[in-house]
Amino acid sequence: MKNHKFKSVVKKYDVVFFDAFGVLKNSSGLIDGINNTFSYLKENGIDFYILTNDASRSPRELAESYIKKGLSVINEHKIISSGMLAREYLRYKVKKGTVAYLGTENSAHYIEELGLKTISIANVDINDVSGISALVFLDDEGFDWNHDINKIVNLLRKRNIPVVVANTDMSYPVSGSEVAIAIGSIANMVEKILGRTFIRFGKPDPQMFNFAYEHITVDKHIPRNKILMVGDTLATDIIGGNKFGIDTVLVLTGNTISENVNARIKSSGIIPDYICDSAVIE
Amino acid sequence: MKNHKFKSVVKKYDVVFFDAFGVLKNSSGLIDGINNTFSYLKENGIDFYILTNDASRSPRELAESYIKKGLSVINEHKIISSGMLAREYLRYKVKKGTVAYLGTENSAHYIEELGLKTISIANVDINDVSGISALVFLDDEGFDWNHDINKIVNLLRKRNIPVVVANTDMSYPVSGSEVAIAIGSIANMVEKILGRTFIRFGKPDPQMFNFAYEHITVDKHIPRNKILMVGDTLATDIIGGNKFGIDTVLVLTGNTISENVNARIKSSGIIPDYICDSAVIE
Amino acid sequence: MKNHKFKSVVKKYDVVFFDAFGVLKNSSGLIDGINNTFSYLKENGIDFYILTNDASRSPRELAESYIKKGLSVINEHKIISSGMLAREYLRYKVKKGTVAYLGTENSAHYIEELGLKTISIANVDINDVSGISALVFLDDEGFDWNHDINKIVNLLRKRNIPVVVANTDMSYPVSGSEVAIAIGSIANMVEKILGRTFIRFGKPDPQMFNFAYEHITVDKHIPRNKILMVGDTLATDIIGGNKFGIDTVLVLTGNTISENVNARIKSSGIIPDYICDSAVIE
Amino acid sequence: MKNHKFKSVVKKYDVVFFDAFGVLKNSSGLIDGINNTFSYLKENGIDFYILTNDASRSPRELAESYIKKGLSVINEHKIISSGMLAREYLRYKVKKGTVAYLGTENSAHYIEELGLKTISIANVDINDVSGISALVFLDDEGFDWNHDINKIVNLLRKRNIPVVVANTDMSYPVSGSEVAIAIGSIANMVEKILGRTFIRFGKPDPQMFNFAYEHITVDKHIPRNKILMVGDTLATDIIGGNKFGIDTVLVLTGNTISENVNARIKSSGIIPDYICDSAVIE
């Protein structure tokens, strides 16, 4: 497949869904020149949203982190996170009791806004778990891995309750070339030990794309062929967008790079509609 | 969990989603008394839809098969099939070329209505595949398993094209206690041999529930908490409904029976909101 | 299947392989009366060995733990552990460099006896890893889970070295009804994040049974049909013994209990030659 | 890793284990010049064996196929096949009843030599299966895929009997660049539909290497560090040899080619001791 200019691609659409890491930012900060892209979108009346597998913070806090980096065009209404879907699930399906969580106190605030009581797994008394009505994996920080992951296994052996994984990513990039284990991997490990089926939210699951689609079509109808998904990862952004029926563009500023893009498309069978060097418009 | 009367459950909802096999019918025909249930729904102004993993026939043909069995209340607008989602995918994402398919000629008619050319895998010339733009798994009949499944593997080694699995079921019941291998299992085998990622449609995938939800909310808004999913299988109907945020009832007339219902809920961690002996209202 | 008396089964064999946990001991200590079994074996000239997925201690230390519990008949020559196989692998295939390990200092002593240098993952400097020639998962204690499991992921991204999992168990029982996550689960998580293939030792892998078989046939030939495997777990002890070609007996004092034994044999398709209530001879 | 001359590698060993396809032969016939290699081995007193995942023919018939191709040095004592292990399993563990098989009549002859009765799945009457004591997957030919693979699923729902997979390969090369689905893939599909655990024989399983090792050490002791495994596939030949504790050489005349060898070693984490362009000695 040959590479296209991002501008020549994006101008054909009414709405753009951006993946965050590897598309708008990397471990050093914003991708150079990405502000120009948002200026172009504004000038041409193209709307946009950021679809991100993240449950560590509320949409408002996620938006603030972009503003702080210099992308002032972002606000909380532009963010669609997997944490939002997990919160919707709790709103519909877990109306009472206390929700135990893995993550920081901050990650739980967003759930508490629903009026649900929450308790960090670190504070759960394993001998008194009858009041716990659900468990949510939010973030990889805020608890003692050894002590508290073992506590989860035993909590779930005592209580058959819904378990929600609010971020399905297995790892995420940190400084330089290093990665960190994401909460999705910890959830996979616990699920396999127990042989249970957890409820997962995040790309490539179509529910993430549908949630975004419902979000943007509240006021006006937008046909799917006027929406473009921009991502750096075949196995989440591209397959998810394809399956949802929208066009997809793979950018080469993150997980997939120029040297391996053709080999990866061939070996995975996941085929983007376009390939662009980056999402930057010069 | 204790069992509820189906009538006392269903009366709280505005819309009911029914799984087909094991809920409305079994290998002997309609579940005894299920006609009464539809009379009750009509009298009480409760709407209903059938959500089925099936791509072997069009919604109209599926509806006719219910009418022939004696359920005259069904028509094509009441059917939501995984085949409909596969057709939507092809409409949005595969606009040209010829779509190769596994299945009967009849199963392909529904796709041809889109204006797409189709060709049975049985008629594909493996030395001339440049015009094939997608492959669809529709039905387990209509081709020679040995010759044509091997042909698929080699077709996909030559052509990196989108592959759609229009029914994710692994097996389905036939006469008596026997089952038959469904097209979903054949697709799994080919995917594993190639190491590729196919695009799948069908319960428990949320896209199936979302498609039904979009279908019923075209004219009027229905909140999710007024929709009930009725199914006999934890791993498809119940987990899918739960994740979509609607209430779920497990009935014991199919895959899950009275003797193992508690053990299965415990071992799977998939928890229905209600358990009923059947979907029959006496 | 009907239950047999253990005595009537065991008397037909020349050598018995015992699983440890759930057969000889449980979380309260030795299984009541198990000493009688070993007296019977001695009186009747039946030899025995303990096959255990354990790499946290040397065979000598494992033997001492049985003696301390009151089973004085055990000595280090009666122990076949997965840690012994991991050590054999290192002896044959990793002759130089430093072996990094997850586990306690004590767990590494057994490897150091080979003359190999070892370093706890806790002491590895992630910026100076060029001297590390292999990584071994030994025990779930002795390191900081959050910090050091992340360190492993990044070590293996920098260095493509052999990785050995010296205990494939996913969890193990601790006091009362609680379990703890075993090092095998942590290895699975890291392997999945990296997409690599680690080298695993432990039941049900046939190498474990073969190692025991080589051990007992150094001096005299024993035909396989004169060896009996005694275990409490279908998926490790019984399938492993069956595949190795020796007879197997399932005892109901551990993972598999009287209430679920028939259902588990049917659902797994793993069929022991005999079922006994316990390995105790009264 | 840099490439070595095969001669400089092989001369350090007493025994060589060769994989067959991609090492000694390909779909066009023998690898050019491979006869020279066997002359060199003979002149230098280096013994050799062929380790092959194949259960379609007896060792004698496999040897004859090499002789017919022009490799007259091969005889039945030089062949170690996964079918031999499956036969050993039946000898030890299935002493009576009738063994049903998938494969040609010819593939079953080798099992009948044990004195066991066999019946092709094509001839099994699904309503009279009480006499069937085991099922063996031998070959992908000799039965009607659609009719008979469905029959297997229903046979195993009626009878909980040991199921043996005598060749774990997922596909095999045929003429030109085409492949064919191997019996291992069909077994995987049936196993997944049923949720059972089958008994598998073939590389990379250590039992295959151990069987070969027992075979060659009947008369004289050979230390493991004097045995070399030569293969073209990281995931079977190399990981299997490594785990068994013998040295391994990857050749680039089959599945792994010069262009992708470094990428594949890195992504898989499976590391051969040597890489050679081929097993040919000029």
Digit-coded pLDDT (tens) for A34-93: 999 999 999 999 999 999 999 999 999 999 999 999 999 999 999 999 999 999 999 999
Q: Does C19 touch chain D (CB under 8 A)?
A: no
Q: Return all residues near A223 (Cβ < 8 A) that are at least 6 apart.
A: none
Contacts C267 to B, Cβ<8 Å = none
In the Cβ-directed half-sphere of D103, how many Cα atoms lie within 13 Å? 31
Q: What is the biggest distance separating any 2 CA atoms in chain C, rounded to whole angstroms?
A: 61
Q: Does D155 touch chain C (CB under 8 A)?
A: no
Task: Using the predicted structure, report yes or no on whether residue D149 has a pLDDT greater than 80.
Answer: yes
Contacts C170 to A, Cβ<8 Å = 192-193
Q: Is the peptide bond before D204 cis (omega within 30 degrees of 0)?
A: yes
Q: What is the nearest CA distance from A240 to chain B, expressed in angstroms?
A: 9
Q: What is the pTM of this model?
A: 0.95
Q: What is the nearest CA distance from B206 to chain D, expressed in angstroms?
A: 22
Which H helix or E strand runs over D154? helix D145-158
CB contact under 8 A, A189 and C193: no
Q: Is the peptide bond before B59 cis (omega within 30 degrees of 0)?
A: no
Q: Across the interface, which of B154, B178, B189 has its CB nearest the CB of D188?
A: B189
Q: What pLDDT is stored for residue A219 in this prediction?
A: 82
d(CA A165, CA B42): 39
Contacts B239 to A, Cβ<8 Å = 197, 199
d(CA C228, CA C57): 26
Question: What percentage of chain D exceeds 70 in pLDDT?
Answer: 100
d(CA B33, CA B20): 15
Question: What percent of the residues of chain D are helix, what percent strand, and what percent coil, each to the nearest 5?
Answer: 40, 20, 40
Q: What pLDDT is stored for residue D87 in this prediction?
A: 96
**Cβ atoms D84, D114 nearer than 8 A:** no
Task: Using the predicted structure, report yes or no on whether residue A149 has a pLDDT greater than 90.
Answer: yes
Closest alpha carbon within chain C to A180: C150
d(CA A193, CA A199): 16
Contacts B238 to A, Cβ<8 Å = none
Which H helix or E strand runs over B204? none
- Chains C & D: contacts with CB separation below 8 Å: 85
Q: Return all residues near B46 (Cβ < 8 A) that are at least 6 apart.
A: B10, B11, B13, B14, B15, B16, B40
Q: Across the interface, which of D197, D239, D265 has its CB nearest the CB of C269?
A: D197
Q: Across the interface, which of A126, A146, A180 has its CB nearest the CB of C150?
A: A180
Q: Any alpha helices (H) in A48-180, and if so which ranges?
A: 59-69, 82-93, 105-112, 145-158
A-interface mutation test, from C121, C129, C146, most A Cβ less than 10 A away: C146
Q: Which residues of C212-238 are buried (b: 16+ CB within 10 A; e: fewer)?
A: bbeebeeeeeeebbebbbbbbbbbbbb
Sign of the torsion formed by the C-alpha atoms of D86, D88, D94 and D95: positive
Q: Does D99 touch chain C (CB under 8 A)?
A: no
Give the confidence band of A95 by pLDDT, cuts at 50, 70, 90: confident
Q: Which residues of B239-278 are buried (b: 16+ CB within 10 A; e: fewer)?
A: bbbbbbbbbbbbbbbbbbeeeebeebbebbbbbbbbbbeb
Q: What pLDDT is stored for residue A162 in this prediction?
A: 97
Q: What pLDDT is stored for residue C212 in this prediction?
A: 95
Q: What pLDDT is stored for residue A80 in this prediction?
A: 96
Contacts B263 to C, Cβ<8 Å = 260, 263
Task: Using the predicted structure, report yes or no on whether residue C47 has a pLDDT greater than 80.
Answer: yes
> Residue A267 burial by CB count (10 A; 0-12/13-18/19+): exposed, middle or buried?
middle
Give the confidence band of B95 by pLDDT, cuts at 50, 70, 90: confident
Contacts B154 to D, Cβ<8 Å = 178-179
pLDDT digits (tens, 9 = 90+) for B146-175: 999 999 999 999 999 999 999 999 999 887
A-interface mutation test, from C127, C145, C196, most A Cβ less than 10 A away: C145
Task: Using the predicted structure, report yes or no on whether residue C227 has a pLDDT greater than 90.
Answer: yes
Contacts C260 to B, Cβ<8 Å = 263
Q: What pLDDT is stored for residue D116 in this prediction?
A: 94
Q: What pLDDT is stored for residue C95 in this prediction?
A: 83
**Cβ atoms D115, D77 nearer than 8 A:** no
B246, amino acid identity: I
CB contact under 8 A, B199 and A243: yes
Give the confidence band of C176 by pLDDT, cuts at 50, 70, 90: confident
Tokens of C222: 């024993």
Tokens of A73: 């065009």
Q: Is the peptide bond before C204 cis (omega within 30 degrees of 0)?
A: yes
In terms of Cα–Cα distance, which of D237, D212, D280 is closest to D47? D212
Contacts B150 to D, Cβ<8 Å = 180-181
Residue B77 DSSP label: G
Q: What is the nearest CA distance from C266 to chain A, expressed in angstroms?
A: 18
Q: Return all residues near C194 (Cβ < 8 A) that are at least 6 apart.
A: C153, C156, C157, D269
Q: Return all residues near C13 (Cβ < 8 A) that are at least 6 apart.
A: C46, C226, C227, C228, C247
Q: What pLDDT is stored for residue D163 in this prediction?
A: 98
Q: At what angle do helices C183-194 and C145-158 cross, to 10 degrees?
A: 40
Q: Does C97 touch chain D (CB under 8 A)?
A: no
d(CA C135, CA C183): 13
**Cβ atoms D187, D161 nearer than 8 A:** no
Q: List the chains bordering chain D where 3 or more Cβ pairs fall under 8 Å.
A: B, C
Contacts A205 to B, Cβ<8 Å = 206
Q: What pLDDT is stored for residue C219 in this prediction?
A: 82
Q: List the chains bordering chain A where 3 or more Cβ pairs fall under 8 Å.
A: B, C
In terms of Cα–Cα distance, which of C124, C140, C127 is closest to C186? C140
Give the confidence band of A218 by pLDDT, cuts at 50, 70, 90: confident
Task: Using the predicted structure, report yes or no on whether residue B237 has a pLDDT greater than 90.
Answer: yes
CB contact under 8 A, B177 and D157: yes
CB contact under 8 A, B197 and A156: no
D205, amino acid identity: D
**Cβ atoms D199, C242 nearer than 8 A:** yes
Contacts D140 to B, Cβ<8 Å = 146
Contacts B268 to A, Cβ<8 Å = 195-197
Q: What pLDDT is stored for residue B219 in this prediction?
A: 82
Question: What percentage of chain A exceeds 90 in pLDDT?
Answer: 93
Task: Using the predicted structure, report yes or no on whether residue D1 has a pLDDT greater than 80.
Answer: no
Task: Using the predicted structure, report yes or no on whether residue A234 has a pLDDT greater than 80.
Answer: yes
**Cβ atoms B46, B16 nearer than 8 A:** yes
CB contact under 8 A, D266 and C160: yes
In terms of Cα–Cα distance, which of A83, A118, A127 is closest to A100? A118
Task: Using the predicted structure, report yes or no on whether residue B1 has a pLDDT greater than 90.
Answer: no
C-interface mutation test, from D85, D90, D92, D211, most C Cβ less than 10 A away: D92
Q: What pLDDT is stored for residue D176 in this prediction?
A: 73
Q: List the chains bordering chain B where 3 or more Cβ pairs fall under 8 Å.
A: A, C, D
Torsion of CA C214, C216, C220, C226, to 10 degrees: -100
Tokens of B239: 């987990």
**Cβ atoms B280, B251 nearer than 8 A:** no
Q: Is the peptide bond before A204 cis (omega within 30 degrees of 0)?
A: yes
CB contact under 8 A, B146 and D150: no
Q: Any alpha helices (H) in A44-81, and if so which ranges?
A: 59-69
Average pLDDT over residues C221-245: 96
Task: Using the predicted structure, report yes or no on whether residue A108 has a pLDDT greater than 80.
Answer: yes
Count of C-beta atoms within a 10 Å radius of residue C276: 21
Q: Does D189 touch chain B (CB under 8 A)?
A: yes
Closest alpha carbon within chain C to A176: C154
